[in-house]
Chains A and B, each alone.
Chain A
Amino acid sequence: DIQMTQSPSTLSASVGDRVTITCRASQSIRRWLAWYQQKPGKAPNLLIYDASSLESGVPSRFSGSGSGTEFTLTISSLQPDDFATYYCQQYKSYYTFGQGTKLEIK
C-alpha cells in the first residue's frame, strides 16, 4: 500500500495570505497525484491533477508542484471561499488519500 501523509493537519490563516500544504508519499508516485477541496456536506472537488495541472475552472491562485514522494499545494492569496479541507490523492497504485488538511480562518 502507498501511504499518503499531509501536513499540517490544521492550518489557520487570514484572507490574502499565501499558504502551502505538503503531501508525502511512502514511495515514489512520480507525478500521479491529485488535490481536492472539500467543504462541509459536499463532495470533494478536483483542483489539481498530475501534481501540477490546474483543473479547468479552478482559480489560478491554486497551484501544485512536486514529484516522486513530496508534493505541495499552494494558494497564493487566500479568499473567503478557500476555507475548507484539502486532500491529496495518489493514483499510481490504486488510490489512497491523505488524511486531510483543514484550512481555518485565523
Chain B
Amino acid sequence: QVQLQQWGAGLLKPSETLSLTCAVYGGSFGTYYWSWIRQPPGKGLEWIGEIYHSGTTNYNPSLKSRVTISVDTSKNQFSLKLTSVTAADTAVYYCARERDSGSYLGDYYYYMDVWGRGTTVTVSS
C-alpha cells in the first residue's frame, strides 16, 4: 500500500520561498508522475505541477514563473519550491501520485489516485 509522507515549513513571510518535500513509501516510484496540488482555506483545488521520475516537469501556467519541482530518485522523494510567496499562497499543499489512464491517439492521460495528508502553509508578516 503506497503512502505519501510530506513535510516542510508551515509559516512563511511574504517574499520568502516555500519548500515542501514528499516521500513515497511502499510502492514503485519510477513508473508514475507525481503532482503538487493546493487548496486555499475554504476554497477549491488548484493543480501546481507534476514531475516524472526522469525529471520531466509540467507546471500550471498561472504559477510557472515561481514554481520548481524536483525529484530525488535515490530517496523516492520529490519536492516543491514556490518563490516570492504572498498571502494568496496560503493554502494546504498536497502531494499526489498520478496513475496512467492509458493513451489515445498517442497522448497519455493521468489522474491522481493517492494523496498525501497535506501540509498547511501560512504566509503572514
CB distance from B47 to the nearest CB of A (A): 4
User: Are A34 and B111 neighbours in the complex by a CB distance under 8 Å?
Assistant: yes
Interface size class of A (residues with CB under 8 A): 20 to 34
Contact mask A77-100 → B, CB, 8 Å, 1/0? 000000000010101101111111
A22 to chain B, nearest CB (A): 16
Q: Is there contact, CB below 8 Å, between B44 and A94?
A: no
Pick from B46, B94, B111, B118: contact of A91, CB below 8 A: B111
Whether the pair B112, A34 counts as a contact (CB closer than 8 A) is yes
Chain B interface main SS type: strand
The answer to whether B113 touches A55, judged by C-beta atoms less than 8 angstroms apart, is yes
| B113 lies within 8 A of A91 (CB) | no
Given contacts A89-B45, A92-B109, 13 further A-B contacts (CB under 8 A): A30-B104, A43-B118, A44-B94, A45-B115, A49-B101, A87-B44, A89-B111, A91-B101, A91-B109, A94-B47, A95-B37, A97-B45, A100-B44
User: Taking beta carbons and an 8 Å cutoff, which residues of B are in contact with A?
Assistant: 35, 37, 44-47, 58, 60-61, 94, 99, 101, 104, 109-113, 115-118
Give the top 9 A-B pairs by smallest Cβ distance, nearest first.
A43-B115, A95-B47, A97-B45, A34-B111, A91-B111, A99-B44, A49-B111, A46-B113, A32-B109
